[in-house]
A and B are shown apart, each in its own frame.
Chain A
């Protein structure tokens, strides 16, 4: 005969008392585990919502950035670098610079490590009389983009005009009835038509683009350019002073002009969208945080109340059990079982109530949290999706429940061991 055999037999004999004890512990444990699990489900759902919104924003930003890039390409460039002595009134009137600077400037910029600009496009531009056609055109010599060597390379926005070729604006090729591949003569030099552009409704329609070195030769401006177009500048309205400052430090003999304000407006709009989306995400985050705080407070009030109520119930059940076992305790003490033995006998029972109740409470708590979590969060988060250590939680539930049951059962147990066997036997 062992204490354990006695405890098991007694449990079987008084199943109802034991079952009610287990149920009490289970309710206490389930309320605690359920609260913790529900809060975890809330956190997981919050992360999901925020991640979805972040992804949505990222997609929208990619889309808007692309739109902005395209707008900048169509509208021209948002920054033009001109020789410092260029009269801006003339530049605005003629739409090209009458002063020149060394083509080498563009290399100095590209090598400088400037962070606000990705590409540079050197050009030589001049309004000329096309002798062979007897008409005024704008001749642009360009050689394609020079990438900023300190930036990650991206696909060029402007395709260069190969040497020996010419690209023509809409008005030019339309009036001259010229197609791609045709041969044209400009200032006694023959060019193959490389591209015939669509109508743009601006001076581009009367512009002819040729390779930069050939333009320099035709215009007798060898090694010179009169503008550098900065491509893909930072798309914010307050970037210009920074670009000016950076370029002035590298090329003191230049001035920087902003162009393409419509592109900037679009870029600004894009930034505004991003800003508003970020504010919305922050608001959502705050809303979810507030909801969590409310739920946490509710759990921090309800759980202790439930646990206390269950503890009181366990105490009452403990007293009922001790009362029912008065005679048995008296007999066992008479047979020589010590007070310590009686203590072990009662506490073992309470530990079993706690362990079983804790394990069942863990299962009930997690399942209830998954069920109610799905209803509260409008989405199902499974047990495997949780970032809780379920094993740790099970240990906590079982251990905590056993401690709760032992503490609650302590007073009835003390009553049991303080029982005077002589008194019990005399009463009987």
Chain B
């Protein structure tokens, strides 16, 4: 499903070249839950953004469902993201003026479907958000916000979920709920690439990689 082949990423920093990823290679297939662990600044988020077609690597090749997203036009890459990838972030990144229901439906802006409304309602119910469906993010607890973000990631039935510290702002109970949802998604044939320094992630992942200074160790 997702394959990284010798991916390197470097930037020009004030003190010279900064290497964010160094010859990173791995792959994930449907039904796999890959947790990439490592300390802050080791390149986890850069890896995730490169996987999501948002950050072009300096070297190497990304393959998403057999297709290199970086050979596509910006427009096609956006479409590919909308149809194949779901994103979940530590900061939730919900749109502040939209209700829970509207936030979950937001991906349909990029990929409008006839089922979007019905699918949204299913997700609202599945994530236990019925009584909060008309509320805006500021009126939600952190757990509800993350559930909303997770539901949003699932709207277009993506083939892969890219999650960046999704439990970083959650208490233990809510973190477990999120891991459970991700686990269920993998059981249903999806795959998850999770970058985290949460040690509990290993318990839910089918494979764990450790990163340090931009390298898989």
Output the least CB separation between A326 and chain B (Å). 11
Is residue B97 contacting chain A, with contact meaning CB distance below 8 A?
A: yes
Output the least CB separation between B196 and chain A (Å). 16
Q: Do B109 and A6 have beta carbons less than 8 Å apart?
A: yes
Looking across the interface, which residue of chain A has its beta carbon closest to that of B49? A422
Q: Are A336 and B82 CB-contacts (below 8 A) given A5-B102, A422-B55? A: yes
Please indicate the chain B residues that have their CB under 8 angstroms from the CB of A10 in the complex: 97
- Assembly CA distance A14 to B97 (angstroms): 9
- Assembly CA distance A329 to B183 (angstroms): 29
Please pick, from B49, B91, B109, the residue contacting A335 in the complex, using a CB distance under 8 A. Answer: B109
Q: Do A337 and B97 have beta carbons less than 8 Å apart?
A: no
Is residue B116 contacting chain A, with contact meaning CB distance below 8 A?
A: yes
- Assembly CA distance A330 to B49 (angstroms): 12
- Assembly CA distance A425 to B44 (angstroms): 13
Interface residues of B: mostly helix, strand, loop or mixed? helix
Output the least CB separation between B136 and chain A (Å). 8
Q: Do B45 and A6 have beta carbons less than 8 Å apart?
A: no
Please pick, from A5, A335, A340, the residue contacting B75 in the complex, using a CB distance under 8 A. Answer: A340
Q: Do B116 and A1 have beta carbons less than 8 Å apart?
A: yes
- Assembly CA distance A340 to B74 (angstroms): 10
| Residue interface bits A339-377, CB-to-B below 8 A is 1, else 0 | 111000000000000000000000000000000000000
Is residue B144 contacting chain A, with contact meaning CB distance below 8 A?
A: no
Is residue B81 contacting chain A, with contact meaning CB distance below 8 A?
A: yes
Q: Which interface residue of B52, B80, B81, B93 has the most chain A CB atoms within 10 A?
A: B93
Q: How large is the interface on A (under 10, 10 to 19, 20 to 34, 35 or more residues)?
A: 20 to 34
Looking across the interface, which residue of chain B has its beta carbon closest to that of A328? B95
Please indicate the chain B residues that have their CB under 8 angstroms from the CB of A333 in the complex: 54, 78
Please indicate the chain A residues that have their CB under 8 angstroms from the CB of B95 in the complex: 6, 328, 331-332
Q: Do A1 and B93 have beta carbons less than 8 Å apart?
A: no
- Assembly CA distance A428 to B46 (angstroms): 13
Q: Do A336 and B93 have beta carbons less than 8 Å apart?
A: no
- Assembly CA distance A328 to B95 (angstroms): 6
| Residue interface bits B148-162, CB-to-A below 8 A is 1, else 0 | 000010000000000
Q: Do A336 and B83 have beta carbons less than 8 Å apart?
A: yes
Q: Are A425 and B89 CB-contacts (below 8 A) given A12-B97, A335-B106, A336-B83? A: yes
| Residue interface bits B61-89, CB-to-A below 8 A is 1, else 0 | 00000000000001100111111010101
Q: Do A9 and B98 have beta carbons less than 8 Å apart?
A: yes
Please indicate the chain A residues that have their CB under 8 angstroms from the CB of B106 in the complex: 1, 331-332, 335
- Assembly CA distance A6 to B96 (angstroms): 11
Please pick, from B46, B54, B108, B116, the residue contacting A334 in the complex, using a CB distance under 8 A. Answer: B54
Please indicate the chain B residues that have their CB under 8 angstroms from the CB of A340 in the complex: 75
CB contacts under 8 Å to B, within A1-41, are 1-3, 5-6, 9-10, 12-14
Q: Are A341 and B109 CB-contacts (below 8 A) given A9-B102, A425-B49? A: yes
Which A-B residue pairs are the 8 nearest by beta carbons? A336-B82, A13-B97, A336-B110, A1-B105, A422-B54, A336-B81, A422-B55, A338-B78
Known: A13-B96, A331-B93, A336-B79. 14 other contacts (CB 8 A): A328-B95, A332-B110, A333-B54, A333-B78, A334-B81, A334-B93, A335-B152, A336-B83, A339-B78, A340-B75, A422-B49, A425-B49, A425-B89, A428-B89
Interface residues of B (CB under 8 A from A): 45-46, 49, 52, 54-55, 74-75, 78-83, 85, 87, 89, 91, 93-98, 102, 105-111, 116, 152, 164
Interface residues of A (CB under 8 A from B): 1-3, 5-6, 9-10, 12-14, 327-328, 330-341, 421-422, 425-426, 428
